[in-house]
């Protein structure tokens, strides 16, 4: 069986993510389940999301509704306590260079966009939903690379997952060279899924119990506040934007 929590797992937080998994693993065992001992990690999350022996993984809303929803089962949606955002939901922040004279998102209509991935809800779909007709200029491969592309002047604007941005403000000095212009409307957050429908209910109980009992330091490091039950229909109701027609840059 495979378990993976790849979405908010920068190297600086690997210890906290492993502690989270240890709590989930023990709670799952108390439910009579047989979770893997350790998390799987790797450069391609699709290897985990599409694994026939998927025990538990966190994915993104756009891959879930565009490709995965018929193959996996929702377990629940972690809540990260974002201000003015419904439980189990998130949004993106729109960022530009700190020295940029344009002040509001509307001033960036048609601007060059750095986006993390064409199947990223927060990096691509959220930017499309602004209605600013942003010009997809760089596909960077990650929110951190998108932020750096804007800071370095290779793009004018980027949409960054608000949870990732909060982590970056703490961990990545590139944020000091950027300014938040605004935020996108909230959408359902990054769901936990399983490959076995019979595991969904006991895993929901296990993850809920693990999060409720998480030590304060780990919860604060990851920004977690609990588990929400966002229905599948709420994910599928979010429009799927057309894919951008750009080539990934060498962001490394």
Residues forming beta bridges with residue 139, ordered by sequence position: 115, 248
Chain-wide mean pLDDT for the chain? 96
Place of tokens 């809800």: 121
Q: How far apart are CA 48 and CA 44, in angstroms?
A: 8
Give yes or no: residues 198 and 148 share one domain.
no
Is residue 123 domain-resident? yes
Give yes or no: residues 127 and 153 share one domain.
yes
DSSP code at position 24? H
Structural domain for 56, as ranges: 2-81+188-236
Give yes or no: residues 103 and 166 share one domain.
yes
Is residue 200 domain-resident? yes
Q: How far apart are CA 8 and CA 243, in angstroms?
A: 24
CB distance 111 to 117 below 8 Å: no
Q: How far apart are CA 142 and CA 171, in angstroms?
A: 15
Give yes or no: residues 8 and 133 share one domain.
no
Place of tokens 């790849």: 6
The CATH number of the domain holding residue 134 is: 3.40.190.10
Give yes or no: residues 181 and 192 share one domain.
no
Averaged over successive runs of 10 residues, the pLDDT of the chain (252 residues) comes to: 97 97 98 98 96 97 97 98 96 97 95 96 96 95 97 98 98 98 97 98 98 96 97 97 78 52
SS3 236: helix
Give yes or no: residues 227 and 181 share one domain.
no
Number of domains the chain contains = 2
Give yes or no: residues 21 and 34 share one domain.
yes
Is residue 11 domain-resident? yes
Give yes or no: residues 197 and 173 share one domain.
no
Q: What is the pLDDT of residue 245?
A: 82
HEC per residue, 33-87: CCCCCCCCCCCCCHHHHCCCCEEEEECCHHHHHHHHCCCCEEEEEEECCCCCCCC
Helical ranges in 58-175 per DSSP H: 61-63, 126-128, 143-151, 162-171
Considering the entire predicted model, what is its pTM?
0.94
Is residue 242 domain-resident? no
Is residue 40 domain-resident? yes
Is residue 68 domain-resident? yes
């Amino acid at each position: 069986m495979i378990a993976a929590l790849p979405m908010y797992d920068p190297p600086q937080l690997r210890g906290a993510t492993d502690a989270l998994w240890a709590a989930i693993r023990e709670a799952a065992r108390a439910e009579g389940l047989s979770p893997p001992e350790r998390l799987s990690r790797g450069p391609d999350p699709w290897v985990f999301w599409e694994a026939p022996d998927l025990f538990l993984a966190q994915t993104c809303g756009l891959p879930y509704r565009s490709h995965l929803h018929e193959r996996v089962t929702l377990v629940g949606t972690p809540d990260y306590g974002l201000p003015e955002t419904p439980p189990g939901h998130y949004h993106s922040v729109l960022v530009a260079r700190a020295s940029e004279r344009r002040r509001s998102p509307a001033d960036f209509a048609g601007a060059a966009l750095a986006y993390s991935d064409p199947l990223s809800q927060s990096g691509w779909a959220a930017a499309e939903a602004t209605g600013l007709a942003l010009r997809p200029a760089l596909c960077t491969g990650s929110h951190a690379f998108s932020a750096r592309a804007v800071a370095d002047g290779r793009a004018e604007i980027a949409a960054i997952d608000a949870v990732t941005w909060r982590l970056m403000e703490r961990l990545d000095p590139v944020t000091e060279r950027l300014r938040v212009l605004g935020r996108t409307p909230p959408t359902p957050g990054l769901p936990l899924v399983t490959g076995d429908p019979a595991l969904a209910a006991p895993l929901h109980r296990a993850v809920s119990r693990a999060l409720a009992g998480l030590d304060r330091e780990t919860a604060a490091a990851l920004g977690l506040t609990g588990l929400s039950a966002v229905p599948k229909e709420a994910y599928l109701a979010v429009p799927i934007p057309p894919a951008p027609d750009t080539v990934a840059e060498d962001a490394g």
